[in-house]
Structure 1
Amino acid sequence: MRMVIFGLTVTSSWGNGHATLWRGLIGALAPFGWSISFFERDTPYYAGARDLDRLDACNIILYPDWESIRHEAEAAIRQADVVIVTSYCPDAVRASRLANESCRGLKVFYDLDTPVTLARIEQGDYPAYFEPDGLRDFDLILSYTGGPAIDALKGILGVRHVLPLYGHVDPNRHRPASPRSEFAGDLSYLGTYAEDRQAAVERLLVAPAAQLPNRRFIIGGAQYPADFPWSGNIFFVRHLPPADHPAFFSSSRLTLNVTREAMARKGWCPSGRLFEAAACGAAIISDDWAGLDSFFTPGSEILLAHTTGDVVAALGLSDNEIEALGRRARERVLDEHTSAHRAAELDRILNAAASMAGGAMEEAV
């Protein structure tokens, strides 16, 4: 079976969560018999921080502009059983039009940024990755976000078949690792700087650091401004390639998860980073949002932080308590949230969508 994907990036994890998710999913789809081609525009932004140049079971097509690849894309679409266009793909509209003209198989749109999509539409600003007519010409919409967002997508975009396909982690790439001194800390946080996360980062990391001057706090990520409120016990590690993530998560007593504002507001949108940390056996303390308890059990597999005091209290837990928390989180991920689980789910959804018509599809999956 042939699948063609038009996505943001699979070759660079710099400043985005798409690449790591696609790498895990593509690898896990191979045993189901999928042959995959991934079309990625070769943008300078990602080319300058590329951390993958080949991927088993996937033909990666990097191209400078749409016209240079249009004929190859059309040929691939004609032969495909499934064509997937994703949010933030720079040529999503062109790829969607071509799929509608040439695809004989299943046409799928995968919104990996559903909260952002809905927020922009509610403000009257349609995202550049689809036209104002919405997604009506697609056979199926997949959403990285579940819960009420599913009905919102149906209502706003006029589409019938919307199903969640949540984040996941490849446990072969993210697993417990030997600690490294440069990543050592009492509380770590790994994430690209985002203005809409800053207030939570200051409340749940910067403020605890001020109250606990003898504790070590460490931030890893990209795009942090010079005026970030650093202090003497907050240390910074610039953008980490995925290969270093396990060591980063394994080198601190606790790791902090902070959710983008739009994601937290909609709920039911676990970041890939959350699953990655858990797969590495990290003990996680996270901001709270609707649906989180469907992925991890608060108090047993994850700690919740609403205030600075919650973080300070968590750092006061014993090593045995913290280690048990991380162990249970890892067990939950391995049982439910691996790339293999999501690949099996996606394979089932696509086969059902291809063989069923109308409302029977949603009942079947």
Structure 2
Amino acid sequence: MTRVAFYGSSILSSYWNGAATYYRGIVKAMSRHGFDVTFHEPDAYDRQSHRDIEIPDWVRVNVWPATSEGLREAAAQAADADIVVKASGVGYADDQILTQVMAAARPGALRIFWDVDAPATLAAMQQDPDDVLRRMLPDLDVVLTYGGGDPVVRAYRDLGARDCVPIYNALDPDTHHPAPPQDRFRADLGFLANRLPDREARVAEFFLRPAAMLPQRRFLLGGSGWNQGDLPGNVNAIGHVGTADHNAFNTTPRAVLNVARDSMAATGFSPATRVFEAAGAGGCLITDAWEGIELFLTPDKEVLVARDGQDVADALADLTPDRSQAIGQAALKRVLAEHTYDRRAIQLRDLLHQMRPEILTEEAQ
């Protein structure tokens, strides 16, 4: 087995951690293709008391104390790996993790930076010539991103990366699939997202404005950070929704909404995990407009695309139960055929084989 040391925010908890679904999907698929992954995550942000899953059989997990000593011990384990991955957005000592794990990597190991928020990472590097990652880019073998397309690839290369390859978000059909509806999630439109500053204006436009325009309709808001008192009366804020409940959340409402953060929408080619979770459950998805959506789902057939809150309100007003079901089923068929994590893992395996064929065992080839 090809050994991978993967340093990220958390694979066990989605609490204030939108990358959890992506990590789980890609690592689980990697394990089926000959990779033995150890995921190293800090005990930070109270995530361990909000675990969505216990340690599964397809990954080893090292939860390390969020201290300088804990970091040193966790980083030292990179020396045992054939491939060393540092993900963006760990949220604790990111620069120190990057420098220490890459310094610990043995000669000949593949060194990878895996960016789960490329617009934010690129903005930080472009604003600071002394940014730690920016200085280290030429010494890394490759940058992987979970979105961004050609603009992100060009930006990374311009900053000194040897190469940059998108490994897009996808669907794990074992985890996200159609589920029976639940009364607590009944609504005309459901939206699941933690409250973040660079998404707030778009949430107000694409979710809260349609709610105010359609007072007779029911709107459901899941995620951390929302205050019920600040919302229209027909919006029900239910707080954090664990990943085990995402299928029912996506299946039950007439439609579910995806709203990209400002930076993701501007960059394009950045489908959130929510897009594939909703499609995998057979939910009818309404997404804000962003460049590249056609690469993943066909507008008006497999997804509804809204330019603003008025479009969302109009879509809901015209959406019959039959059309909602037809769109959801078409989306499910598309993602099962083209956008599973298994396909992404094969893409990754082939990429790494081209880069360093001797580093992959027979199981990973």
TM over 0.5: yes
Report the Cα distance in structure 2 between the residues aligned to 1:177 and 1:126, rounded to whole angstroms. Answer: 49
* TM-score, with length taken from structure 2: 0.90
Q: Which residue is 1:5 aligned to?
A: 6
1: CA distance, partners of 2:155 / 2:205: 31
- 2:235 maps to what in 1? 234
Counterpart-to-counterpart distance in 2, 1:354 and 1:322: 46
Cα distance in 2 for partners of 1:79, 1:347 equals: 20
Equivalent in the alignment of 2:205:
203
CA deviation vs aligned residue, 1:42-94 (integer Å, no higher than 9, x gap): 114323322223121211111113423535642x3233111111112334434
Mapping for residues 183-332 of structure 1, pairs under 5 Å: 183-225=185-227, 228=230, 230-315=231-316, 316-332=318-334
Does the C-alpha gap of structure 1 residues 125 and 211 become closer, same or farther in structure 2, counting only changes over 3 Å?
A: farther
Tell me the TM-score normalized by structure 1: 0.90
Give per-residue Cα distances to partners, 1:74-122, cap 9 Å, x unaligned: 2x32331111111123344344334245323111110111011122233
Gaps of 5+ in 2: 359-365
**What SS class does the counterpart of residue 117 from structure 1 fall into?**
helix
Preserved CA contact (<8 Å) 1:249 1:282? yes
Shift of 1:169: 2.1
1:125, CA displacement in angstroms?
8.0
What is the CA distance between 1:3 and its match in structure 2?
A: 0.7
Partner residue in 2 for 1:359? none
Question: CA contact under 8 A between 1:221 and 1:239: conserved in structure 2?
Answer: yes
Report % sequence identity.
Answer: 35
Task: Specify which of 135, 149, 169 is matched with residue 137 of structure 2.
Answer: 135
* Counterpart position of 2:164: 162
Residue by residue, what CA displacement relative to the aligned partner does 1:284-323 show, whole Å, maximum 9, x if unpaired?
Answer: 1111111111111111111111133312221122222121
Deviation string, structure 1 residues 254-292 (Cα, Å, up to 9, x no partner): 111100001111111111111111101011111111111
Number of residue pairs the alignment of both structures matches: 351
Distance 1:96 1:15, change over 3 A: closer
* Matches of 1:307 and 1:55, distance apart in 2: 41
Say whether the 8 Å CA contact 1:187–1:255 is kept in structure 2. Answer: yes
Partner of 1:54: 55
Q: Distance in 2 between matches of 1:126 and 1:264?
A: 27
4+ residue runs of structure 1 moved beyond 6 angstroms?
none
1:4-153 equivalences under 5 Å are 4-64=5-65, 65-68=67-70, 70-71=72-73, 73-74=75-76, 76-89=77-90, 90-97=92-99, 98-103=101-106, 104-124=108-128, 130-145=132-147, 146-153=149-156
Partners of 1:10 and 1:22 within 8 A in 2: yes
Segment drifting more, 114-123 vs 328-337: 114-123
Q: Distance in 2 between matches of 1:243 and 1:223?
A: 20
Task: Give the counterpart letter for 1:337 in structure 2.
Answer: H
* Counterparts of 2:183 and 2:9, CA distance in 1: 34
Superposition CA RMSD, Å:
1.9
Whether the 8 Å CA contact 2:199–2:261 is kept in 1: the answer is yes
